[in-house]
Amino acid sequence: MDRGIRRVAAGLVLLSAATVTGWVVYDVAARPVLEVNVTGSFEQVSRMELERTLAAVMAPGFFAVDVRRIQEAATALPWVRQVHVRRSWPNSVEINVEERVAVARWGDAWLMEADGTLFRPTSLYGTDALPRLRGPEGGQKRVLRAWTALGPAMDQLPAGRIHSIRLSSRGDW
């Protein structure tokens, strides 16, 4: 009989532990996100557009927050280069946004970063002072290297600065 009582007592302890664990898991899973902290420089990225984009993909529960989905939605914005997202216990999400920095215009509608990456913003407003580079598809890094190499020589020109260069599909400058 002593054995039976021990089994019943052990069963009650296990049942109680499982119940308490279930309540804790339910409470944690239902924990809402109360704060979303967005950091980064916002010179080209519209904070309002970013917030609207994030609100569309933000889940209400702490553990339901899909970090990758938030990153994909934010990096789909033209001026966003990279996004870092992390949950911060107990009820907040931290989002750091890194903007793209344009160093040149490429063709009529694209902008170029210092590593040759092209991106297409919705507007080219404010980019008139950037050098204008042109070339065949896939040639943007070569043209950018040439432009960078020409920089010191262009500064020596008495008539001012050259504002554009073009590489033809035949390789002529």
* pLDDT at residue 23 in the model: 65
Q: Are 27 and 59 in contact (CB under 8 A)?
A: no
Which range, of 26-30, 116-120, 129-133, averages the lowest pLDDT?
26-30
The CA-based dihedral angle spanning residues 22, 27, 29, 33, taken in that order and rounded to the nearest 10 degrees: -170
Four-residue CA torsion sign, 102, 127, 107, 109? positive
pLDDT at 159 over 70: no
pLDDT at 165 over 60: yes
Whether pTM exceeds 0.75 = no
* pLDDT at residue 28 in the model: 61
For residues 34-60, average pLDDT: 89
Q: Which residues pair with 36 in a beta bridge?
A: 93
* pLDDT at residue 41 in the model: 86
Q: What is the pLDDT of residues 81-91, one digit of tens each?
A: 999 999 888 88
* pLDDT at residue 4 in the model: 74
Confidence category of residue 72, pLDDT binned at 50, 70, 90? very high
Confidence category of residue 20, pLDDT binned at 50, 70, 90? low
State which H helix or E strand residue 138 sits in: none
| Summary mean pLDDT of the chain | 86
Q: What does the angle CA 64 – CA 66 – CA 70 come to, to the nearest 5 degrees?
A: 140
